[in-house]
Structure 1
Amino acid sequence: MNIAIAGTGYVGLCTGVCMAHTGHYVTCVDIDEQKINLMKSGKSPIFEEGLEELMTLNNERLTYTTDYINAYQNADIIFIGVGTPEKKDGSANLSYVYNVAKQIAHNVTKDCVVVVKSTVPIGTNDKIENFIKSELKKPVTIYVASNPEFLAQGTAIRDTLHASRIVIGVENQYSENILRQAYNGFKDIPIVVTNRRSAEMIKYASNDFLALKISYINEIANLCELIGADIQEVTNGMGYDERIGDKFLNAGIGYGGSCFPKDTKALHWLASFHDYEIKTIKAAIEVNEQQKFKLFKKSRKYYESLEGLTVAVLGLTFKPGTDDLREAPSLVNVPLFVDDGAIVKVWDPVGSEAFKNAMEREHNSELNEKVEYCDKIEETLKEADICFIFTEWPEIKALEPKDFNNMKDVIILDGRNCYDLNVFSGKNIKYESIGRSLISGE
């Protein structure tokens, strides 16, 4: 099949490359010519394990272009995978989706199925179909289907090729048949067929449930600290129950990324728009925002202020395996450290440049100049008065007590529970994590 993909972010590019890998001819469309040229050279614009290898392997079936007119004219299927960023009120910004819809309507020359893969509020597919029909320039028939994605950054290729399920939201048999044909090469994956609104809701309900699970376990972890229980022992005991499972029970300093924060707020906004409140989702959002500052609050046990102190920050991205910084705890904490008077040194294996750019955009050059970007963990820790761990990168988890010896005072605040408590027991190290006992260094 001839498939066009609108957008080359995580969703669009991973979908396009995986579709090519299963035998389709795919044209990836983006407005950013620099990104297109990068992909033409065989390089991925995003850090994602296995993506560049598949781009090279399927090069003959992949085309990258800014020419959406030719891309959409003769496509059998057009996937819309552009961003739906959060507006200030928490609702989803659908301007990119509608822009692509207009381009499709003005340029298609044959009947085709338009598949909305972007995460959109319930009812959006219906509106997109009506919008495209009102804007059509040729006497063709356009069918709109919902096909939400369930990939996670860092495992996006695996999550696409070996998905837990493929959800197809359609209003007619023709669209279902075309999408089944598109996914024919994705072997042994259950296909769930629903109407469009149910498919849209499946995406939000799934993401928000996982976010709720994370916020719940973080609250349990906070209580564990107060009563002397150990969160890892608690979650281990919980995980044996098949009704609960052991996934998304890792306590920490909150979720981030492109999905959970945006999708919880969007569903909360949608419910409010209909004069309804999903209290659990509202609570999950509030808990997550507060959890991001957990380590900063812990630091007050040791220093009334960070004024004049050297602070080491290990990990900037919201999770390991990606260079994505969206809603990462580091984004709110590092400026806080600087404002508190600290000398801040940071390290991340892939996220430093993106973090530097984010600081420039969201704050100012003066603040960014007060942050030292280090190439090595050892350099970051040298002469530091306190260390904050925000991301559980393998390089960080591999550190041993001796690796912290070049700190001025070995105080480690670990927001991702990277280490076994016994590792630091009996050492001259103060180590605090989330939901577990304090190692006082005495």
Structure 2
Amino acid sequence: MKLSIIGAGYVGLVSGACFAEVGHDVACVDVDQNKVDRVNRGEAPIHEDGLEALLRRHVGTRLRATRDLAAAVRASEMTFIAVGTPFDGKRIDLGYVRQAARDVGAALRDLGRYHVVVVKSTVVPGTTDDVVRPLLEEASGGRAGVDFGVGMNPEFLTEGVAVRDFMEPDRIVIGGMDERTIAALARAYAPFRNVPTFGTNNKTAEMIKYTSNAVLATLISFSNEVGNLCARLGGVDVVEVMQGVHLARYFTTTLADGARVTAPITSFLDAGCGFGGSCLPKDVKALVAHGEAAGQPMPLLDTVIQINLKQPQRVIEMLERSFATLRGLKV
């Protein structure tokens, strides 16, 4: 398939390089000329293990970068929107998503053939159908479901190992406004055989992404709350507590040969200094804010955030109780 990807950042460029690796023809679009030039030289503008090797292998054949959005869209069968969605503490900023939708819609005007537009950016439930779709229709003069399809395909990538995560996915979630859109997205992911593929509507696909991150954040804050209590009580080792919890059949499975395998999810059931990074804090806060805006407060997730905000200081306080000074201390 011929694909265009709007946004050559962490998600967009990794997706583009990996799609090229499985045989698709990909054009990555970005407004940054320096980034475009570097990609077209086979240089990775971001650090991701294995990314530069993919660029060097496919740039000039199945992969290219460009600033010409209209040409890239019109030459492709499917366009992914993978631009940033910053969070200001109250709501995610859809400015880049809106502009991308307008630009893609304008490129689709008078195209004369069916095209699929897919949101890959992390957006709150309802964004694809209620924001992106109307903008596409307005800018293109066409009608969704007739002239083009609109889909949602959340990413589940971990920074640093995003190439591995894309090439060896644990699941592929495909959202679409109709069966035609879902079928088109399924063709794009056809090279990924023996991977669970889940088709649903756009709003549900958006919620799957947020829920996936929210449950991980919840496990971390739960573990830290238990750890804080163990520290306060004294004589209780939270590491051993969690090791005992992990032994439950809910988390550890005995195979036919007698070997015991512990589920990877248990790595989030260990006490520590809390969660950070570019995804979990932003996504949980955005989901809480979205719930409040919809008239559905989310006190559990709000507490998850509050516990996490206080956890680094709690760790420092525990260290101060155990050591005369923290200067030069290696933990």
TM-score in same-fold range (> 0.5):
yes
Distance 1:209 1:160 in 2: 21
The answer to whether the 8 A contact 2:103-2:139 is kept is no
Give the CA RMSD over aligned residues: 1.9
The answer to whether the 8 A contact 2:89-2:286 is kept is no
Distance 2:230 2:49 in 1: 35
Q: Are 2:135 and 1:135 aligned?
A: no
1:298-337 to 2 correspondence within 5 Å?
298=318, 300-301=320-321
1:116 Cα offset (Å): 0.5
1:220 Cα offset (Å): 1.4
Q: Deviations over 1:131-171 (max 9, x none)?
A: 21011157881211011111111221111111111011112
Point out 4+ residue stretches in structure 1 off by more than 4 angstroms: 137-140, 298-304
2:180 aligned residue: 174
**Counterpart of 1:26 in 2: which secondary structure?**
strand
Q: Which AA in structure 2 matches 1:134?
A: E
Distance 2:15 2:9 in 1: 10
1:299 Cα offset (Å): 5.7
Q: Deviations over 1:279-325 (max 9, x none)?
A: 21001100111113334434654568xxxxxxxxxxxxxxxxxxxxx
1:182-331 to 2 correspondence within 5 Å?
182-227=188-233, 228-244=235-251, 245=263, 246-298=266-318, 300-301=320-321
Q: Which AA in structure 2 matches 1:197?
A: K
Considering fraction of residues, name the structure with more helix: 2
Larger Cα-atom Rg = 1
1:236 Cα offset (Å): 1.9
1:174 Cα offset (Å): 1.2
Distance 1:39 1:58 in 2: 10
Q: Are 2:133 and 1:113 aligned?
A: no
**Counterpart of 1:205 in 2: which secondary structure?**
helix
| Unaligned stretches of 5+ residues in structure 2 | 252-262
Q: Deviations over 1:9-53 (max 9, x none)?
A: 221111111110110000111111121222222221221111111
Q: Which AA in structure 1 matches 2:128?
A: N
1:60-139 to 2 correspondence within 5 Å?
60-89=61-90, 91-108=91-108, 109=111, 110-127=113-130, 128-136=132-140
Distance 2:310 2:295 in 1: 26
Q: Deviations over 1:93-117 (max 9, x none)?
A: 1111111001001112242111111
Which one of the candidate residues 151, 154, 173 is aligned to 2:157? 151
Distance 2:142 2:292 in 1: 39
Identity of aligned residues (%): 38
Distance 1:41 1:230 in 2: 53
Q: Which AA in structure 1 matches 2:134?
A: N
The answer to whether the 8 A contact 1:43-1:52 is kept is yes
Q: Deviations over 1:199-253 (max 9, x none)?
A: 1111111110111111111111222222322222222222233434423123221
2:57 aligned residue: 57
1:259 Cα offset (Å): 1.0
**Counterpart of 1:114 in 2: which secondary structure?**
strand
Q: Which AA in structure 2 matches 1:62?
A: L
The answer to whether the 8 A contact 1:133-1:142 is kept is no
Distance 2:237 2:309 in 1: 23
The answer to whether the 8 A contact 1:13-1:28 is kept is yes
The answer to whether the 8 A contact 2:102-2:136 is kept is yes
Q: Which AA in structure 1 matches 2:312?
A: K
Q: Deviations over 1:182-203 (max 9, x none)?
A: 0011121111011111111111
The answer to whether the 8 A contact 1:5-1:16 is kept is yes
Q: Which AA in structure 1 matches 2:271?
A: A
Q: Deviations over 1:375-417 (max 9, x none)?
A: xxxxxxxxxx724xxxxxxxxxxxxxxxxxxxxxxx33x3xxx
- Count residues in correspondence: 309
- Stretch of structure 1 that moved more, 91-100 or 220-229: 220-229
Distance 1:6 1:243 in 2: 41
**Counterpart of 2:204 in 1: which secondary structure?**
helix
Distance 2:219 2:241 in 1: 14
Q: Give the TM-score normalised by the residue count of structure 1.
A: 0.67
Q: Which has the higher contact order (CA 8 A, sep 6+)?
A: 2
1:398 aligned residue: none
2:254 aligned residue: none
